[in-house]
Amino acid sequence: MVRKNLLRQTFNWMTVLLQNLQMSQSKFVMIEKENQICVLYGSQTGTAQEVAERIGRDAKKRHFSTKVLPLDAYPLANLIHQRLVVFVCATTGNGDPPDNMKTFWKFILKKSLPSNSLSLLNYAVLGLGDSSYQKYNVIGKKLFRRLEQLGGEPIQPVGLGDDQHELGPDAVIDPWIQQLWQNVLSLFPMAPGQTQLPDDYRLPPKYELKYLDPEESSESPVSIPESNMHLGEVLVNQRVTATNHFQDVRLVTVDISNSGFSYSPGDVLMVQPENCSESVQEFIECLQLDPNKLFILKQNDPDVSLPAELPQPCSIYHLLKTYLDINAIPRRYFFELMATFSEDELEKEKLQEFTTAEGQSDRYDYCNRVRRTTLEVLQDFKQTVPKIPFEYIFDLISPLKPRAYSIASSQKKSAMTVDILVAAVKYRTKLQKPRLGICSNWITSREPHSTLPVWIKPGSFIFPANPDIPVIMVGPGTGCAPFRSFIQERTSQNIGESYIFFGCRNQKKDYFFQEEWEKLEQSNLLHVFPAFSRDQEDKVYVQHVLLKQKALVWKLLDVEKAYFYIAGNANQMPNNVQDAVVEIVETEGGRSKNDAEEYVKYLEQTKRYQVECWS
């Protein structure tokens, strides 16, 4: 179906393109209004979407007709006669596009597109990424170049926001957006008599909210899940780390019978989390809300659709429990909007300071450095909170985003269940309360027979279909999850030639699948090379064990044409492993450092070297 839609969009674009080229005497007939700006985003975790919405608000204050849409929701055929588009695109995984721009990405990279396809387009691209990843901001960079290749006119250089910057991505985003409006208004000035609305002008709320009287609806709201979501029953929630280990890691088995789901090794299980009851209760008390009060939502803006995840009517409790991310770190617009409600001089001054360029360092120290949550910020600004109209809650607080977990099982071994490996995120900062990962702690708290809202999405790994091809897998910690899936897939068919380099701290504390893998080793279906970093004086990591097995690794790569995979934390491990592979090629293959690096690049290009990491 996706392929058919892609072909149809290609045909539509080419048809409209030909029509425009034939209308040389009136080529502007199909051009959108000059005061229209489209802000299109590719967002995986919500950051790019929030930045796009910020640009959309700025556009409205400058009297532009504005649309803010995910890229895959935008009619591609319209792009050839669009005058002004701002693209905000995150880079995910190992240089992958976000899920909500994958169709667009495949289409825009087609070599058959004419080089003057976008000759009417003025554009700007803001990339969002994390410089700890090997392919930092590659989507933003490639998109900028590709639009120019198709005839588009860039109005400023590509912006590259970096999560690793000491002030976060705003250090790049703020000046980039400031420059954007200078360039936009020089090309498309406001009409005579129009002036820009003040920065602190409060736009109408995203949705119109109407409370219901108790007699208007006595029915309890029922969640309306995503169309492909399944309420899977938790069958097993087993801790796989020792009780005295610092980290609680669980192997969770979910029943997916009657779901119609099918999956392959490398796919991911998406989980839609809920806020914990304690946080919800604190939020209710902070804003002095009636949790049982019912409301309905209506559109305030025809271009902003209502949230499909919420029932109509909905209770305030249901909204807080299942929809709003009340424990997220608030972004700058949160403070900007809060300041418009504040009547307390000191609180208003502080809120406004957090929205200025000069105040970014203070805001970062207050929020990001200590991981202060939205709820905790609201509790700090006690004089302002009572002044916030509840209909602005959707503008203040973003929705809870689903989390992705690599599937750690094979459907060939168990058709009716799916396993995931979940590490409960818990750590301390200077704040009194420990910081908790919303989804991981919610999952690990689920008792058997409770449910998880889940669905399946394709992962980025492409495993070889040919059973004769050896596979080298490097997966420290929970990074081993997708490899367990592939190992089960192969061994269930008595296929060997699988080599896994697994890393953990201690053999007796966090060696997740030791017994299972040792049995497979005895059957000569698996070769395991563990690295225990804390079981001896000198720390031993997976890259060290790779180097110890350099003759084997080189033979597998060069002679037997093995595939090489890395999964796990994106901090230093992927780079350290790649350095080890380059060294192996250099020493065992008798090549120069430069040639060894080119060899690894070739493996990447041919999909024989793949990386899937997360921060």
Is residue 38 within 8 Å of 85, Cβ to Cβ? yes
Of 164, 187, 210, the last residue of a domain is 187
Question: Mean pLDDT, to the nearest integer, of 52-56?
Answer: 94
Domain count, the chain: 2
pLDDT for position 556: 97
| Mean pLDDT along residues 572-584 | 95
**What is the C-alpha end-to-end distance of the chain, expressed in Å?**
33
Among the listed residues 544, 565, 564, 566, the one whose alpha carbon sits nearest the alpha carbon of residue 554: 564
Q: Is 466 annotated as a binding residue?
A: no
**Is residue 584 in a domain?**
yes
Q: In terms of pLDDT, which residue wins out, 285 or 23?
A: 285
Contact call for residues 441 and 250 (beta carbons, < 8 A): no
339 appears as a binding residue in the annotation: no
Average pLDDT in the 203-217 region? 85
Question: Is 451 known to sit in a ligand binding site?
Answer: no
Higher-confidence position of 220 and 69: 69
Mean pLDDT of 413-426: 95
Would you list the DSSP string of 172-193?
Answer: HHHHHHHHHHHHHHHHSPPPTT
321 assigned binding-site residue = no
Domain ranges, residue 608: 471-613
Give residue 357's pLDDT: 78
**Residue 130 marked in a binding site:** yes
SS3 578: helix
Is residue 128 annotated as involved in ligand binding? yes
**pLDDT above 50: residue 510:** yes
Backbone angles phi, psi at 537, to 5 degrees: -65, -45
Q: Is residue 524 marked as binding?
A: no
Strand partners, 68: 39
- Residue 222: inside a domain: no
Tell whether the model's pLDDT for residue 491 goes beyond 80: yes
Known binding residue 599? Answer is no
The answer to whether the Cα torsion of 379, 383, 387, 392 is positive or negative is negative
Length of the chain: 615
Averaged confidence pLDDT in the chain: 90
Quick check: 377 and 330 in contact, CB under 8 A? yes
* 48 labelled ligand-binding: yes
- The pLDDT value given to residue 164: 85
Per-residue model confidence (pLDDT) at position 21: 37
Residue 447: inside a domain, yes or no?
A: no
54 labelled ligand-binding:
no
Mean pLDDT of all residues in 337-341: 96
Specify if 209 maps to a domain. Answer: no
Mean pLDDT to the nearest integer, 451-460: 93
Average pLDDT over residues 456-468: 91
pLDDT, position 18: 39
Cα(328)–Cα(397) distance, rounded to whole angstroms? 8
Please indicate if the annotation marks 163 as binding a ligand.
yes
Distance CA 225, CA 556 (A): 46
Q: Is 478 annotated as a binding residue?
A: yes
Residue 423's Cβ-side half-sphere holds a number of Cα atoms within 13 Å equal to 18
| % of the chain surpassing 90 pLDDT | 77
Beta bridge partners of 70: 41
In a domain, 411, yes or no: no
CA 263/CA 271 separation, integer angstroms: 15
What's the confidence (pLDDT) of residue 30? 35
| pLDDT tier for residue 217 given thresholds of 50, 70 and 90 | low
Tokens 């002679």 found at: 559
In a domain, 79, yes or no: yes
pLDDT at 24 over 80: no
End residue of a domain, out of 125, 159, 187: 187
Buried-state track 582-607, b at ≥16 Cβ within 10 A, e below 16: bbbbbebeeeeeeebbebbeebbeee
Does the annotation flag 299 for ligand binding?
no
Contact assessment for residue 360 and residue 170, using Cβ atoms and an 8 Å cutoff: yes
Measured CA angle at 245 (ends 241, 250), to 5 deg:
30
- Max mean pLDDT range (170-174, 567-571, 599-603): 599-603
Q: Find the helix or strand (DSSP H, E) in which 353 lies.
A: helix 345-353
In 203-259 the beta strands, taken as DSSP E runs, fall at 207-211, 230-239, 249-255
CA angle 237-240-244, nearest 5°? Answer: 115
Give per-residue pLDDT as tens, 300-334.
Answer: 888 788 998 899 999 999 999 999 999 999 988 99
Which H helix or E strand runs over 612? strand 609-614
In a domain, 180, yes or no: yes
Which range, of 198-207, 274-283, 388-397, averages the lowest pLDDT?
A: 198-207
Q: What is the CATH number of the domain that holds 92?
A: 3.40.50.360
Predicted confidence at residue 146, as pLDDT, reads 96
Helix (H, G, I), strand (E, B) or coil at 403: strand
Report the CATH number that the domain containing residue 521 is assigned in CATH: 3.40.50.80
Residue that finishes a domain, picked among 187, 212, 227: 187
In a domain, 220, yes or no: no
Angle at 238 between CA 235 and CA 244, to 5 degrees: 165
Judge residue 434's burial from the number of C-beta atoms within 10 Å of its C-beta, 0-12 exposed, 13-18 middle, 19 or more buried: exposed
Do the bridges between strand 159-162 and strand 122-129 make them parallel or antiparallel, or are there none, so unpaired? parallel
131 is in an annotated binding site: yes
Compute the distance between CA of residue 181 and CA of residue 521 in angstroms, rounded to an integer.
Answer: 62
